[in-house]
Structures are given as C-alpha cells and as structure tokens.
Amino acid sequence: MCVNYKPTSAKVAGALTGASTEGIGDWPEETWQDYAAPLVRADAGGRPELLVGTYGMLPKRFQQGTPISTLNARAETLSEKRSYASAWRGVQTCLLPTEWFVEPNYESGKAQRWAIGMADQRPFCLAGLWRAWEEPEGGLSFSFTQITVNADRHPLMRRFHKPGEEKRSVVIIPRSQYGAWLNAGSPELARAMLRLTPAASMKAWPAEKDYRETRQSDLF
C-alpha cells in the first residue's frame, strides 16, 4: 500500500487535467496521512474541478475512538467497507495528480524507501475516491483515498513490501481516460478502469531520505 507520495503543483495539476487553478492554495511537497493535497473531481457539469483535500478518507479529526488508516481502499471490497461504500456507490471518483509515489523495497534485506513514477518522467494521476465533510464552524472540507489492486504478478510492483505479503499497487489512470473516470456513472464502469499500468511504462529508484525517515518502520 502507498502511504506517501509527491503531488504535483497546482499549475501542473491544472495543465494535466484541464481543471482551473483559480483560488487554489498550496500544499506540502510530499503527502502523508492527514496532509493536504490536490484532488480533481467532476463538477456538476462533468468538467474537471481542482480541490484541496485531506489524504485519508476518514481524517483523524473526524474519527472517534482508536484511529484507523483509510489511505488506501482495496478495489475488491469497495462496496463492502463502511469507510468507502457510500462514495463508491455514488461513483465519487477523483484523480490525484502525482509526480511519484513511495513503496518499501526489501531486496537488500531491510526496508528501503523507493519512489515509483512513469518512465518518461511525466506527471500522472492516481485513481481515488473523495467525500465531503461539514466543518463545525461551517463550510465543507474534502478528503480522499487511493484505490489499490492486487499486484502479485506485476513485474515491477511485486518487488515491494515485505516478502510473503500480498503485493498491492495504486492505479494509474491513463490520460485518455481522465474524463471517463471522473464521469464513470456507475461502479461497474469505474471498476473496469482499475487496471495495472504496464511495467515498461514505469520506473522505480531509491528515494532520498526525508525528515520522516526515522518513522518508516512504523508506516511500512
């Protein structure tokens, strides 16, 4: 599963998806749980709309009791899990403009932080679901999750996560399908687009450490 990625800038997100960037603020260079990051959904007219949302379908501030992680939603159980079922039935699909995402690689015998992106180094969009929240002081805020699929047989993505564990991957939506994903209309049509990207179109490399590197063992 992915718990950390690098979103694009607002300018790049707008150019990539065709969404307006007017009135959109900034967000951190890397995204972790409960961080702000860009998402693109379809507006009432079906056009791409750029918003800023919280990474994790259930932000910690709205959870009661022991917090749970909702960064990744398994495609196989989207209609079953309470955290995602309503958004999935409502086809609240979104695009997550991304430069690269991070996964743990154990080929050296211990977890190492690796980045995964496109072979041509161009930005891309991950498949996500979004939901809205009513804030106590009024107004709406938004949150999102990344959809994942099994990657046990994927030549690249099977290299990540602990040996013996199921291999999972986020879903990269092809640019030609951005409009179709945002306006899928039904869960069945959306599910048909949840496919792995060919390994030849992707690349992976050891990522630089960041200020949170000391906490990787807790996250992976």
Looking up tokens 């967000």, which residue turns up? 27
Which tokens sit at 19? 């969404």
pLDDT average, residue stretch 201-205: 99
> Regarding predicted confidence, which is higher, 179 or 67?
179
Q: Distances in Å between the alpha carbon of 71 and those of 19, 58, 63, 155, 168?
A: 24, 8, 14, 24, 13
Amino acid at site 149:
V
Q: What is the pLDDT of residue 48?
A: 99
Structural domain boundaries of the chain?
A: 5-219
Confidence class for position 220, pLDDT limits 50, 70, 90: very low
- Domain 5-219: CATH superfamily is SOS response associated peptidase-like (3.90.1680.10)
pLDDT tens for 31-47 read: 999 999 999 999 999 99
Q: Cα–Cα distance between 50 and 61 in angstroms, integer? A: 23
Compute the residue count for the chain: 220
Which tokens sit at 35? 């961080």
Mean pLDDT for all residues in the chain = 95
- In a 10 Å sphere around its CB, with 0-12 CB exposed, 13-18 middle and 19+ buried, how is residue 167 labelled? middle
pTM above threshold 0.75: yes
